[in-house]
């Protein structure tokens, strides 16, 4: 539990209006930090004895660093964070930050089941190098997780986080879709910069983009399988597991979409659907990915 001095220092930091170009509340012009681009959700390698293989993790980061990604995501679903202790989660963030280029963004999954635990994890991840916190919906009591409860949770986290917050909706794993009305309300918070939506409902993505158009709010597709239609609906990038194995192709699809080369983008999107599906179906959790 955070003691009074730590809570005080967090509040003091927020009152000063943190403003790093990458990882602060906003850019120097008062805009929220730009998270545009492609991010591979980095896997967490394990040894045969179920320990985190930090050597393999760093080796993977060096390979992934050869592609023009905007940054990296750690401790998402791909990172198997439920299998890690709190200290392991922080050590992974620290090792990745040390291994990656300083001009890349590091988005770290800090979500926990309670608001206080999420705040504490977010603060700790910021201290070890995360530029933004990606916060998954709490779901154990999903029946009570209505819009009001989720708005309260995310508002408290964003109020006390020294780094920007990215909402994370992944109903396949949580059984809970972050309601659109909650997203719209939360988009108005100065420290909530966007959402990773992994549900695959392009209509929903378009609705979120439309309803948050007056806010400086950014939508990231949660899979390469629907990256093109998400761009067509106004998304600004994607956090795509397929980028771990087909990084060049996923970045090429991003470039084609952003430059309006829709016919070529469609052809490439079609070619990526099957490998994306195969990537999803062959996952063997508890550390035996061997993707890169």
Q: Hey, what's the torsion of the CAs at 211, 215, 221, 222, to 10 degrees?
A: -100
Sign of CA dihedral 66, 68, 72, 78: negative
Q: How far apart are CA 72 and CA 61, in angstroms?
A: 9
Burial class of residue 183, CB neighbours in 10 A (0-12, 13-18, 19+): buried
Q: Which of 104, 156, 196, 211 is catalytic?
A: 196
Whether 156 is a known active-site residue: answer no
Q: Which of 232, 168, 190, 181 is nearest to 211 (CA)?
A: 181
Largest CA distance in the chain: 57
Instruction: Report whether 83 contacts 286 (CB < 8 A).
Output: yes
Q: Which residues are known catalytic residues?
A: 196
């Amino acid at each position: 539990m955070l003691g009074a001095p730590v809570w005080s220092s967090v509040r003091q930091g927020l009152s000063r209006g943190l403003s790093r170009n990458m990882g602060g509340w906003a850019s120097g012009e008062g805009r929220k930090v730009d998270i545009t681009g492609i991010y591979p959700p980095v896997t967490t390698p394990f040894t045969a004895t179920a320990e985190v293989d930090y050597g393999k993790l760093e080796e993977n980061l060096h390979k992934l660093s050869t592609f023009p990604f905007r940054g990296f995501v750690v401790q998402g679903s791909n990172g198997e964070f439920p299998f890690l202790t709190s200290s392991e989660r922080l050590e992974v963030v620290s090792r990745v930050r040390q291994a990656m280029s300083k001009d890349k963004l590091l988005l770290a999954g800090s979500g926990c089941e309670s608001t206080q635990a999420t705040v504490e994890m977010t603060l700790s991840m910021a201290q070890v190098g995360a530029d933004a916190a990606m916060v998954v919906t709490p779901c154990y009591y999903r029946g009570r997780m209505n819009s009001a409860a989720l708005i309260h949770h995310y508002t408290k986290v964003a109020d006390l986080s020294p780094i920007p917050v990215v909402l994370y909706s992944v109903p396949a794993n949580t059984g809970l879709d972050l309601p659109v009305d909650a997203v719209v309300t939360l988009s108005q918070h100065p420290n909530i910069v966007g959402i990773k939506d992994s549900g695959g409902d392009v209509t929903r993505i378009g609705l979120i983009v439309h309803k948050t158009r007056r806010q400086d709010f950014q939508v990231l597709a949660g899979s390469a399988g629907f990256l093109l239609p998400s761009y067509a609906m106004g998304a600004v990038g994607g956090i795509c597991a397929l980028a771990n194995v087909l990084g060049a192709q996923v970045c090429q699809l991003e470039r084609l979409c952003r430059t309006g080369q829709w016919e070529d983008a469609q052809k490439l999107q079609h070619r990526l659907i099957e490998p994306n599906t195969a990537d999803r179906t062959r996952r063997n959790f508890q550390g035996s990915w061997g993707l890169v």
